[in-house]
Structure 1
Amino acid sequence: MDIIRNRLLASIEVKQDIVQDMHLINQIKASSDIIIKCFQNNGSVYFCGNGGSAADAQHLAAELSGRFYFDREPLSSDALHCNTSFLTAVGNDYSFDDIYSRLIKGIGRKGDVLVGLSTSGNSKNIVNAIDEAKKRGIYTIAFTGKSGGKLRNLADICICIPSDDTPRIQESHITIGHIMCEIIESSLFSKK
């Protein structure tokens, strides 16, 4: 029973730290505003991650392209790992480090937004994707852990969760992602 209570308390503690960090709160709001502007200009929002972060990327893309709290028009949003033929071909023919940057090179347009999720902030394929996006005038947002890793100074906005514990970081990523989806949806659409 202690492990259950301790993990729940640890998760709550990280979220309490986020609530107290006005810089982080402002980054979440700024990221939401950038995505709103992207959609208002008919742009697309792309997400990328590895492992659990890939699952979170796909989850958040679906919240935007499908629906979140209420029925409304779909938004142009996708997770970059969902085309397994592309992923495995590029991973095999080039490198796993290039899977996302190559796709951004092919489909990304100036004014789009790329959200990269990496708990360490150092995942080579996410770093490469953010780097390629910036070259193309694509706004970049990173979701990382406490240090921010290489993404801290590379992404336009780096949302660094105040934790070094991967599960707690990922729990906070999805919570913040859900908050952003709510802000985006309610700003672009009125409830019917």
Structure 2
Amino acid sequence: MLEQRIQQQFFESADLQYQVAESLSRPISDAAQMLVEAITAGGRVLCAGLGLAELDARYLAAQLMGRFEQDRPGLAALHLDGRVQQGSGSIDVAAALARQVQTLGHPGDLLLLLDAYAGSEQQLPTVLDAARGQDMSVILLSGSQDEALRAALLDTDIQIRIPHSRGARVAEAFRLVSHCLCDAIDVQLLGAAE
């Protein structure tokens, strides 16, 4: 019985990836193009995540700054840590991220914001407003089906939305989206690997 449950995890993950491959290829392609344009124009990518998606943001920033599958110069990417304590000693993740965006963000930079789990949609506007204040565009990877959240994005922003109710499936898809973005950036900058 346990083995069947484990197999079901694999099948559910694979099913989701097959279901969204076609619908997400355009927004991922657009996001990769947006990232290349920002980086080649001297902008930086500020990667931030809410909740456990903070780890995915750290991973993505490391892939951009370091390397993906091809050797290349590092790309200007920073990981923003939402766990930084505020003056009172308490941690307000959205406020901490907003403060870092206000401090480090400049016009021409991009905010790549990840939010895999439902329930944190209320925190996103705080971070999005900070990016707006710095004249930054946003790429949002989310699992949210909240249409109000989509309305909070500008026409110049891109949302890559993973349509699944389970946070684990959304997080798994985030890793694949990260790899797709890094590969697309490398292809645009370096050409296809032999």
Q: TM-score, normalised by structure 1?
A: 0.88
Query: Is contact 1:49-1:126 (8 Å) kept?
Result: no
Q: CA separation of 1:95/1:54 partners in 2, compared to 1, >3 Å: closer, same or farther?
A: closer
Paired residue for 1:38? 38
Q: Does structure 1 conserve the Cα–Cα contact (< 8 Å) formed by 2:112 and 2:138?
A: yes
% identical equivalent positions: 24
AA in 1 matched with 2:169: R
| Aligned residue in 2 for 1:105 | 102
1:49: Cα distance to partner?
A: 1.0
CA offsets per residue over residues 75-107 of structure 1, 9 Å max, x none? 11011018x6xx123573784331011111111
Aligned length: 187
Q: Secondary structure at the match of 2:60?
A: helix
> Conserved in 2, the CA contact under 8 Å of 1:91 and 1:97?
no
Letter in 2 for 1:15: Q
**Post-superposition offset of 1:189:** 2.7
Q: Deviations over 1:21-62 (max 9, x none)?
A: 2xx321111111000000110110011113320110000000
Match of 1:26 in 2: 26
Moved more, 119-128 or 56-65: 119-128
Change (3 A) 1:3 1:62: same
| Contact preservation (8 Å) 1:122, 1:150 | no
Match for 2:14: what amino acid?
Answer: I
Deviation at 1:122, TM superposition (A): 3.5
1:162 Cα deviation after fit: 1.7
Give the corresponding residue for 2:160: 159
Residue ranges of structure 1 left out of the alignment (5+ in a row): none
CA contact (8 A) 1:46 1:80 kept: yes
**1:121 touches 1:151 (CA, 8 Å); kept in 2?**
no
Q: Distance in 2 between matches of 1:121 and 1:37?
A: 32
Give the Å deviation of 1:168. Answer: 0.2
Equivalent residue, structure 2, for 1:184: 185
Shift of 1:132: 1.2
Equivalent residue for 1:9, pick from 8, 11, 33:
11
**AA of the residue aligned to 2:113:** G
Partner amino acid, structure 1, of 2:125: V
Alignment correspondent of 1:137: 135
The aligned counterpart of 1:127 is 125
Equivalence for 2:63: 63
Contact 2:113 2:140 in 1 (8 A): yes
Query: Which one has a larger percent helix, Structure 1 or Structure 2?
Result: 1
One-letter identity of the residue aligned with 1:113: L
Rounded Cα–Cα distance in structure 1 between residues aligned with 2:87 and 2:46: 18
Q: Distance in 1 between matches of 2:87 and 2:47?
A: 18
8 A contact 1:115–1:142 mirrored in 2 = yes
Greater shift, 131-140 or 117-126, is seen at: 117-126
Letter in 2 for 1:19: A
Please give the alpha-carbon distance, in whole angstroms, between the structure 1 residues aligned to 2:119 and 2:132: 16
Q: CA RMSD in A?
A: 2.2
TM-score by length of 2: 0.87
